[in-house]
Amino acid sequence: MSSVMVASLQGYTAFQLRRPLRARSYRIVHRLLCPDSPHLGLYPVFAFKPDLFQRLQEEDYHLPEFDRNYAQAWRHLSTYQLCGLSLAAWRDLCGTLISLHAAAYDWHADRDRLLPRLAARLPTLPLQDLRATLKALVDALDQVQ
C-alpha cells in the first residue's frame, strides 16, 4: 500500500533569507520535488507565492552557494494559480485531487461519483482560504476511501 507525506512548509519566509540560507532552502525543496530516485507514494505538493518564481529567475546561479539553476530545474513542474479560482476551476481541481489521492493511497476512486460530491461541498468552503479548502477536500476523500 502506498503512503502520503503531508508537509507544511513556510517556504515564503525561507526564500526571503540571505543568499546562503536561501540556497540551502532551494536544495531541500529540490530534493523533495525532484528526487534522484522516486519515492513510491510520495506526492509533494507545495504552495508558493508567485514572486518566488520571479526570484528564481533573478538569482545569480554562478555564485558558489548554488549547486544548480533552480529556475531551470523547476521549469517542468506543474504549477497552478490558485488565487481567485472560479467554481468551475475548483471543480477541475477536485478532479485532479481525486486522481492524486487515489494514486497516493492506492485505491480505485470512482471519479464520476466523487466529483459531484466534492463539487457540492465547494459552496460551503472558504474558497479564498486555499489551505483550508484543500484540507477539507482531502478530508472528504479520506472519509470515502
Nearest to 90 by CA among 53, 120, 59, 65: 120
Looking at the structure, tell me whether residues 17 and 64 fall in a common domain: yes
> Exposed/middle/buried for 129, CB within 10 Å: 0-12, 13-18, 19+?
exposed
Q: What's the whole-number mean pLDDT along residues 20-46?
A: 85
**Sign of the C-alpha dihedral, residues 86, 127, 104, 11?**
positive
Residues 102 and 131 in one domain: yes
Q: Could you report the per-residue pLDDT of 117-134, keeping only the tens digit for each?
A: 999 999 999 988 888 898
Same domain, 58 and 23: yes
**What pTM was estimated for this model as a whole?**
0.67
The whole domain housing 22 covers 11-73
67 and 31 within one domain: yes
Residue 80 belongs to a domain: no
Per the structure, the count of domains in the chain is 2
| Identity at 133, one-letter amino acid code | T
- Say yes or no to pLDDT of 31 above 60: yes
Tens-digit pLDDT profile for residues 36-83 = 887 776 777 777 777 888 899 999 999 999 999 999 999 998 887 777
98 plus 61 within the same structural domain: no
